[in-house]
């Protein structure tokens, strides 16, 4: 059943042979599902209704050969209208159409077309012309199909140009990406080589320092090994040696004298000889002093 202004319409009651007449049914939408169940209805009349649009699934009715949509309020046709490839007769008189979908060019079997009394684009209106008789309507179908095919070809070319431009851009991006990757690889390679060279220099420096440390002790010991006979101390004079020996002898004599005169060893034979010697020397010195005192006045006279 089709909905139409609150009334139900039985499609089978409207079907006569292969023609389904739904004109003057006050329809606001097309009963597409019900129509799909009547594939024998190759001629469909939807004229003189209140249709403003056609659903996209309407174009699944590919069995249609003749379609009358005149005297409605259609603003546009579905973008997939070209799916109606078996359509030969199309009446769009007195609607509100401005343009046709590009897919209209796919209606290769279209032989009759009426676009009168529509606010068509000036170019499309000029191409369509009048449809006052059978000949003019056939010519309109032919010219409009050619026009729409030219538009489709131009759009295809534009799409191809865009696709080609996108491919070229993609190639350019790919080339730039490869160049960038090559530059990055070269940079990493150079950085790796610089790092390797730096590590090699550090290794050589450490090795040289190690060798230098191992050779330094040998240099320090070379003078003592090559010149063992060289004395490091200054030469001593013979006078100094003799003076020290005399002082040691004098110190020893004084020590012996002190021992022999003060301690209990003074009665020992050696100490008796020392004491006697000391006394003789003392007497000699005293007599020498007396003699000097005697001689001194005489010398003054």
What distances in angstroms separate CA 27 from CA 19, 30, 46, 85, 219, one per listed residue?
18, 7, 8, 25, 119
First to last CA, the chain: 189
197 located within any domain: no
pLDDT in tens, the chain (301 residues): 444 443 467 888 889 999 999 999 999 999 999 999 999 999 999 999 999 999 999 999 999 999 999 999 999 999 999 999 999 999 999 999 999 999 999 999 999 999 999 999 999 999 999 999 999 999 999 999 999 999 999 998 998 999 989 999 999 999 999 999 999 999 999 999 999 999 999 998 888 888 888 886 655 555 554 555 555 555 557 777 888 888 888 888 777 777 777 777 777 777 777 778 778 887 877 777 776 776 665 555 4
Q: Report the distance separating Cα 139 and Cα 134, nearest Å.
A: 9
Q: Identify the pLDDT of residue 220.
A: 52
Name the domain boundary from 157, 186, 202: 157
Give 89's strand partners.
66, 112
Main-chain dihedrals φ then ψ at residue 39, nearest 5 degrees: -65, -15
Classify residue 80: in a domain, yes or no. yes
pTM: 0.57
Strands 89-91 and 7-9: unpaired
- The residue out of 142, 157, 172 marking a domain boundary is 157
The predicted pLDDT at position 218 comes to 58
DSSP state at residue 52: -
Q: What is the CATH number of the domain that holds 135?
A: 3.80.10.10
The reported pLDDT for the residue numbered 229 is: 52
According to the model, what pLDDT value does residue 102 have? 95
Answer yes or no: do 135 and 268 share one domain. no
Confirm whether 131 is domain-assigned.
yes
Please report whether residue 83 resides in a domain. yes
b/e code 112-122 from CB counts within 10 Å (16+ = b): bbbbbebebee
Domains of the chain: total: 2
Measured CA to CA, the distance from residue 264 to residue 152 in angstroms comes to 154
Q: What pLDDT was estimated at residue 256?
A: 76
Q: Does 42 map to a domain? A: yes
Domain range enclosing 260: 247-290
| Contacts of residue 151, Cβ cutoff 8 Å, sequence gap at least 6 | 102, 105
């Amino acid at each position: 059943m089709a909905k139409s202004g609150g009334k139900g319409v039985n499609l089978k009651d409207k079907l006569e042979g292969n023609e389904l007449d739904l004109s003057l049914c006050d329809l606001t939408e097309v009963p597409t599902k019900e129509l799909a169940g009547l594939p024998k209805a190759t001629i469909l009349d939807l004229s003189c209704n209140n249709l403003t649009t056609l659903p996209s699934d309407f174009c699944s009715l590919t069995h249609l050969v003749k379609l009358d949509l005149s005297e409605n309020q259609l603003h546009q046709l579905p973008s997939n209208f070209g799916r109606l490839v078996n359509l030969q007769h199309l009446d769009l008189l007195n609607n509100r159409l401005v343009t046709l979908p590009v897919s209209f060019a796919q209606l290769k079997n279209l032989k009759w077309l009426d676009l009168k009394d529509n606010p068509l684009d000036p170019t499309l209106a000029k191409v369509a012309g009048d449809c006052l008789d059978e000949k003019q309507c056939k010519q309109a179908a032919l010219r409009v199909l050619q026009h729409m095919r030219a538009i489709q070809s131009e759009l295809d070319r534009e799409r191809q140009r865009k696709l080609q431009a996108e491919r070229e851009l993609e190639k350019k991006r790919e080339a730039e990406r490869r160049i960038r990757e090559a530059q990055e690889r070269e940079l990493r390679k150079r950085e790796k080589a610089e790092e390797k060279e730096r590590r090699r220099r550090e290794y050589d420096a450490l090795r040289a320092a190690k060798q230098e440390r191992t050779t330094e002790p040998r240099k320090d010991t070379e003078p003592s090994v090559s010149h063992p006979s060289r004395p490091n101390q200054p030469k001593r004079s013979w006078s100094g040696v003799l003076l020290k020996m005399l002082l040691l002898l004098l110190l020893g004599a004084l020590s012996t004298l002190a021992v022999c005169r003060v301690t209990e060893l003074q009665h020992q034979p050696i100490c008796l000889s020392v004491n006697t010697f000391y006394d003789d020397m003392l007497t000699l010195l005293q007599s020498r002093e007396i003699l000097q005192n005697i001689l001194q006045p005489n010398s003054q006279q």
